[in-house]
């Protein structure tokens, strides 16, 4: 991939983003910012320069996507880069699924050549599905983390990742040890954290696969390197929760295991969080940690229904995540549509705004990146996606009959997928374009 540089570009489209939290049920929320037929200007360093109704001067490359949607790029807050190889695998719950499918696939990433090719494939696939930033699990191998960071750096992407920590209850070829893991993590932090748009996340896979000594080491890494993230799994599956209780009998709950080892903070991203109680939610609120809600994965693996209403009532940050390969698509549109279905089963009818906010501005704020991504605002990075409203006869018919903005956008969210994506831009550079999707231009090239 070439190291393309931004150019001064102006895109005409219908712009949608959020100025605040739209809540869960208000279809007419004032936090929705809808600017139809507006120009978004991108400066020569890849940031948004302005948003305006009138076209800019002749020194701007003008790209006419009128009638199309322009949104901030989606932020996938929990996804496994090596699990592209096991997506859509049949038949088991979480613990069996890991042993049957995931661990064998991850073992192949010890090979640096394989790991680099896989990282390139994964990030290009993310972009082709409309996600311009992600919080990613590679594998236990430092080569896997190196490959992912190098590929993200080449694409200018905001990626948060780190070598997975597993020193027990895993195959021999996927286990590390406390001392070597600390050495590996420290070297990766020095090499990648804060380089370009990259950030390091201390990454214990989940409490069962890290000894108390390794969890303590993870907490020490966070204490020694302010600004690091923490990513892990929590309370995904009932059998998993019961196993954690056996392994850590001194802990009040699964979440308390992480709290006891100094792993909870405002930069902690905890995937799933289905089987939590009120005390756990209070702890999440007090620490500032977020739950990455993974509806497609939760449905596919039969893990359970996340209580978003209860989390919101407790003031817990919630973002949306694909969790591929437990999830069945990298498309955040499909993920959001599944999120609606999961919440409907719980009697909670989310608006399109609630879902879209949690995958853009809400995710950025929960990651403490609200001054960089998640909105279409001057000064922020030009990470954005351009979408067709409807692809195919059924979606086009539904779009033509929709009344009002929310109904139209909800139909797009529900019926759309990666086929609707026209272009994905990262830092002012078009990094993914649908074949034959060409903007109307004023002739400047």
Q: 91-123 pLDDT, tens per residue?
A: 776 667 677 777 877 878 788 998 999 999 999
CATH number at 177 reads: 3.20.20.140
Radius of gyration of the chain (CA): 21
Q: Based on the domain organization, do 143 and 167 belong to the same domain?
A: yes
pLDDT at 444 over 70: no
Select the more confidently predicted residue: 444 or 329.
329
Q: Based on the domain organization, do 121 and 66 belong to the same domain?
A: no
pLDDT at 379 over 90: yes
Q: What predicted TM-score, i.e. pTM, was given to this entire model?
A: 0.95
In a domain, 212, yes or no: yes
pLDDT band at residue 443 under the 50/70/90 scheme: very low
Q: Based on the domain organization, do 181 and 277 belong to the same domain?
A: yes
| Among 388, 391, 386, 362, CA closest to 374 | 362
Q: Based on the domain organization, do 309 and 386 belong to the same domain?
A: no
Q: Based on the domain organization, do 68 and 112 belong to the same domain?
A: no
State how far the alpha carbon of 82 is from the alpha carbons of 85, 124, 148, in Å: 7, 13, 10
The whole domain housing 26 covers 9-73+375-441
pLDDT band at residue 398 under the 50/70/90 scheme: very high
Q: Based on the domain organization, do 49 and 89 belong to the same domain?
A: no
- Rounded CA-CA distance 147/126 in Å is 16
Listed residues 314, 330, 346: the one ending a domain: 330
pLDDT band at residue 428 under the 50/70/90 scheme: very high
CB atoms near residue 99 (< 10 Å)? 13
Q: Based on the domain organization, do 113 and 235 belong to the same domain?
A: yes
Structure tokens at 291: 């739950």
**Half-sphere exposure at residue 402, Cβ-oriented, CA atoms within 13 angstroms:** 20
In a domain, 346, yes or no: no
CATH number at 23 reads: 2.30.40.10
Cα 37–42–48 angle (5° rounding)?
A: 90
pLDDT at 198 over 50: yes
pLDDT band at residue 209 under the 50/70/90 scheme: very high
pLDDT band at residue 258 under the 50/70/90 scheme: very high
Q: Bridge-partner residues for 345, per DSSP?
A: none
In a domain, 358, yes or no: no
Name the burial class of residue 54, with classes exposed (0-12), middle (13-18) and buried (19+) by CB atoms within 10 angstroms of its CB.
Answer: exposed
Name the burial class of residue 400, with classes exposed (0-12), middle (13-18) and buried (19+) by CB atoms within 10 angstroms of its CB.
Answer: exposed
State how far the alpha carbon of 331 is from the alpha carbons of 68, 323, 418, in Å: 18, 11, 6
In a domain, 233, yes or no: yes
| Among 207, 163, 154, CA closest to 181 | 163
In a domain, 353, yes or no: no
Q: Based on the domain organization, do 184 and 202 belong to the same domain?
A: yes
Q: Based on the domain organization, do 88 and 37 belong to the same domain?
A: no
Residues 6+ apart with CB under 8 A from 376: 15, 17, 33, 40, 48, 51, 70, 71, 72, 384
* Range in 292-306, 334-348, 372-386, 431-445 the model is least confident about: 431-445
Q: Based on the domain organization, do 181 and 297 belong to the same domain?
A: yes
Q: Based on the domain organization, do 131 and 249 belong to the same domain?
A: yes
Q: What is the pLDDT of residue 262?
A: 98
Strands (E), 196-241: 198-204, 229-234
In a domain, 98, yes or no: yes
- Rounded CA-CA distance 174/156 in Å is 30
- Rounded CA-CA distance 85/81 in Å is 9
Select the more confidently predicted residue: 327 or 32.
32
In a domain, 404, yes or no: yes
In a domain, 167, yes or no: yes
Q: What is the pLDDT of residue 104?
A: 79
Q: Based on the domain organization, do 40 and 106 belong to the same domain?
A: no
Number of domains in the chain: 2
Average pLDDT (400-428) is 97
pLDDT at 208 over 60: yes
The residue to which tokens 């200007």 are assigned: 41
């Amino acid at each position: 991939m070439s190291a393309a540089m931004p150019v001064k570009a102006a895109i005409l489209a219908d712009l949608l983003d959020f100025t605040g939290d739209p809540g869960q049920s208000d279809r007419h929320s004032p936090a929705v910012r809808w600017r139809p037929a507006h120009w978004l200007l991108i400066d020569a360093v890849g940031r948004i320069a302005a948003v305006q109704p009138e076209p800019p001067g002749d020194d701007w490359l003008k790209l006419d996507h009128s009638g199309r949607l322009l949104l901030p790029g989606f932020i996938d807050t929990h996804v496994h880069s090596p699990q592209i190889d096991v997506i859509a695998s049949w038949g088991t719950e979480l613990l069996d699924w890991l042993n049957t499918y995931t661990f064998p696939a991850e073992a192949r990433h010890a090979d640096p050549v394989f790991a680099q090719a896989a990282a390139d494939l994964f990030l290009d696939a993310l972009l082709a599905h409309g996600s311009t930033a992600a919080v990613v699990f590679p594998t236990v191998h430092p080569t896997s983390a190196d490959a992912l960071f190098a590929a993200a750096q080449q694409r200018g992407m905001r990626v948060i990742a780190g070598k997975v920590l597993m020193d027990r209850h895993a195959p021999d070829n996927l286990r590390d040890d406390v001392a070597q893991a600390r050495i590996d993590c420290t070297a990766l932090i020095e090499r990648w954290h804060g380089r370009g748009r990259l950030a390091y996340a201390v990454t214990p896979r989940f409490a069962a696969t890290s000894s108390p000594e390794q969890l303590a080491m993870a907490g020490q890494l966070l204490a020694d390197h302010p600004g690091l993230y923490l990513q892990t799994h929590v309370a995904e599956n009932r059998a998993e929760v019961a196993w954690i209780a056996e392994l850590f009998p001194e802990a009040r709950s699964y979440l308390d295991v992480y709290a006891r080892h100094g792993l909870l903070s405002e930069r902690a991203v905890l995937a799933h969080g289905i089987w939590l109680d009120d005390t756990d939610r209070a702890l999440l609120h007090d620490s500032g940690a977020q739950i990455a809600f993974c509806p497609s994965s939760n449905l596919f693996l039969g893990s359970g229904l996340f209580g978003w209403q209860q989390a919101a009532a407790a003031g817990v940050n919630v973002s949306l995540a694909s969790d591929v390969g437990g999830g069945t698509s990298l498309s955040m549109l499909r993920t959001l549509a599944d999120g609606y279905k999961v919440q409907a089963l719980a009697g909670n009818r989310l608006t399109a705004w609630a879902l879209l906010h949690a995958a853009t501005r809400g995710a950025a704020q929960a990651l403490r990146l609200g001054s960089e991504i998640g909105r279409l605002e001057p000064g922020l990075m030009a990470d954005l996606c351009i979408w067709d409203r409807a692809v195919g006869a059924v979606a086009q018919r539904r779009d033509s009959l929709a009344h009002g903005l929310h109904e139209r956008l909800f139909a797009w969210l529900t019926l759309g997928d990666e086929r609707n994506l026209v272009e994905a831009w990262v830092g002012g550079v078009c990094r993914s374009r649908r074949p034959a999707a060409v903007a109307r231009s004023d002739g400047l090239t």
